[in-house]
Structure 1
Amino acid sequence: MTERETYRRKVHYYETDQMGIVHHSNYIRWFEEARIDLMDQMGLGYAEMEAEGILSPVLSVQADYLRMVYFGDVVTIDTFIKNYNGIKLQVGYEVVSEKTKMVHCRGTSKHCFISREGRPVSLKQACPKFHDMFTEGLEVYKSKENKNIKERK
């Protein structure tokens, strides 16, 4: 897998609330934008997956809001495959200020794979190229985590 670009986004005025900070619901939208970008960069996008008859609904989303983000700020969203077993997928996200390099939000989303008829799908059997892509993405994440653990020791 080639080195990926992080997803970059400038905060729009309509995404802020009366206090001038990004409304919490917008982080979830950003996660989805970044997840779609991740798949595109990995080589197989959502449109291609859906063309294969496979859908990937969100099962849950979790976000920890660490610092405020304001109108006009530019953030990058590091997106990675955190867990994958062939049937379910967990994607991780870190929203980072481009200016300060500080993490403002961390989160995850969990997904499954289903047919258009709503039946569970094993990607390994139904669409091996997507299975291989997510497996490789998970290996990249694990190798980075192992490297980070070694660096902290």
Structure 2
Amino acid sequence: MYEHKVQYYESDGMGITHHSNYIRWFEEARVALLEYLGYPYEEIEQQGIGSPVLTANASYKASTRFGDVVQVAARVTGYTGVKLFLAYEVYNKATGILCCTGETSHCFTDRTGKPVALRRVWPELHEVFVTAAQAES
């Protein structure tokens, strides 16, 4: 689980975390998840693979504020071989309250931006995502 301390600049005029920051925290948690799975994002990029975001959405449940520590759980919920789907839950660490849920979807591209199938270009990473998605089912 990824942890983040809400910074002052992340809050709005009402003292509440601005909604756009949750999507950033999703990305931070996604990078931490890849590292946990044994494939740090830096290594993926070094192999010439990109993973652009196709969709992102968030559902806000409770506010967070400057100084709060949030815990962001990220998990693979689906993988087609071409697209990767993740889900996120953001909790206030002190209270345990669920503050936000969300999802993102991604594809994989080469250095020119052309879509690639991991099964062909990096079978080991493909299998990691297959296994992670199956663990969710």
TM-score range, shorter chain: over 0.9
Rounded to whole Å, the distance in 2 between the matches of 1:22 and 1:140 is 33
What residue identity is the alignment partner of 1:124?
A: R
Percent identity between the two aligned chains: 45
Rounded to whole Å, the distance in 2 between the matches of 1:21 and 1:30 is 15
Rounded to whole Å, the distance in 2 between the matches of 1:16 and 1:109 is 23
Deviating 4+ runs (over 6 angstroms): none
Where does structure 2 lack aligned partners over 5 or more consecutive residues? none
Structure with the bigger percentage of helix? 1
Equivalent in the alignment of 1:113: 108
- CA deviation after TM superposition for structure 1 residue 132, in Å: 1.1
What residue identity is the alignment partner of 1:86?
A: G
What is the aligned counterpart of 1:7 among 2, 10, 22?
2
Rounded to whole Å, the distance in 1 between the matches of 2:88 and 2:73 is 6
Where does structure 1 lack aligned partners over 5 or more consecutive residues? 1-5, 143-153
Rounded to whole Å, the distance in 1 between the matches of 2:42 and 2:67 is 31
What is the aligned counterpart of 1:84 among 55, 65, 79?
79
RMSD of equivalent CA atoms: 0.8
Aligned length: 137
Instruction: Confirm whether residue 17 of structure 1 aligns to residue 12 of structure 2.
Output: yes
Deviations 1:19-56 (A, max 9, x none): 00000010011010000000001100111111111111
| Secondary structure at the counterpart of residue 95 of structure 1 | strand
TM-score norm. by structure 2 comes to 0.97
- CA deviation after TM superposition for structure 1 residue 140, in Å: 2.2
